[in-house]
Amino acid sequence: MTAPSVPSVAVQPWAARDDVRITRVRAIATAPEGTALVVVKVETNIDGLYGLGCATFTQRWRSVVSYVDDHLARLVVGRYPGDIEDILRVCRLTAYWRDGGVANNALSGIDMALWDIAGKRAGMPVHELVGGRARAAADTYIHAGGASIDATLDEAEGYIAQGWRHVRLQVGQPGTGSYGAPAIDEPTDAWAYPDGWDVEDYLRRTPRLFAAARDRLGGDVRLLHDSHSRLTPKQAVLLARSLEPYRLFFLEDVLAPEFWHRLPEVRRDSPVPLAVGELATSAATAGRLIADGGVDLIRCHISAIGGFTPALKLAALAEHFGVRTAWHAPGDTSPVGAAANVALDVTSPAFGIQEAHVYNDATHEVFPGTLVIENGWIRPNEAPGWGIDLDEKAAARHPAELSGHDIWAAANRSPDGGVNFP
């Protein structure tokens, strides 16, 4: 048996059906694409039986590593790995002050790793453990963004030629705050903060992007757009109405979380479906988005709400309220987290769309079994558990560094110099 890295204080509250026990829990950080990824490895006293879970909070990854190694490991080592719900409740509630990006990502790493172990013990992929397929594959959307409208549409045409049916479009703007596309060099010397991001420019430029997209790409491709949580409620409605002629599949994250209580009125007045939830840091908050009638699609970063288990419950809630899922999954989701997303996608009747990320060769080396998108479709692995492994020697060749997001977000200001929502 491998000795735990910290003394265990775990209590096994009832007799388990066998002698399988957790012997070690640790967080592993790696950055094969330059973006810090955190994966939790949960080992057992059975040779070769371990699980992997996504705990990626790129902007504060060192805190997540410490939370797992210094706080949660001692609550988990010694436990029977099949008691997933109880282990999660103990880890969450013993903190007293609970939820938040650091705590829930740490918890997610353990949660997903326990599901991975459960699948391996059963000899089944996780999607079969939770009821099996409701569809053959998940349709995905991909991101196209350029400094100019033509550059954005050039990239979109390339993705469409590769088989994607859904494409998110972003176009560059002046200033550091340009999101999803390169900033453009236009004179802003008259501003108090010359590298500022101007919301009025954004509200004018975005409809022009989609008008050009429909002219050039035609009416069949499904188009999406992300406001990145920067608008006021009135600005959100104005943008949604200006985009109505272009039939967006969804408009993403129009309001910052501080103003999510206003989403029902924005959704009432919006002719475009709203997808919200990327910045939710608890399952309860995400659940209220659904129950309060403020969203058409829920799109959480599932590790930020605590992992696969709460996301499974959230998908069931979405189904009952007629809301669809669109889980967050850019490059700061590990391949393990992506596999968990897809397990939800193919099993939930509430599925709407899945965000896509095409991982580089180095990531496939670090994470053997990383899912591959074909013609815009993504399918789960059929191997037991997530079907994803971790080559720790390869991971060590790509050390994680502190995120550059802090530097960018600190410089993302309005023309008057006030800090914007990033």
Q: Is 166 a catalytic residue?
A: no
Beta strands in 182-338 (DSSP E): 222-226, 250-252, 274-276, 297-298, 324-325
Gap between the Cα atoms of 224 and 203, Å rounded: 15
Q: Please pick, among 67, 141, 179, 359, the residue that the annotation labels catalytic.
A: 179
Give pLDDT tens digits for 273-322. Answer: 999 999 999 999 999 999 999 999 999 999 999 999 999 999 999 999 99
Q: Please pick, among 228, 301, 357, 398, the residue that the annotation labels catalytic.
A: 228
pLDDT of residue 186: 87
Q: What is the DSSP string of 92-104?
A: HHTTSS--SHHHH
pLDDT band at 2 (very low <50, low <70, confident <90, very high): very low
Q: Is 179 a catalytic residue?
A: yes
- Better-scored residue on pLDDT, 4 or 22: 22
Architecture per CATH, domain 129-382, reads as: Alpha-Beta Barrel (3.20)
Dihedral over alpha carbons 317, 320, 322, 325 (to 10 degrees): 30
Tokens 């399952």 found at:
283
Show Cβ contacts of residue 115 under 8 Å, excluding neighbours closer than 6 positions: 51, 53, 84, 126, 129, 308, 309, 340, 385, 386
Give pLDDT tens digits for 136-182. Answer: 999 999 999 999 999 999 999 999 999 999 999 999 999 999 999 99
Closest among 160, 168, 134 to 342, alpha carbons compared: 134
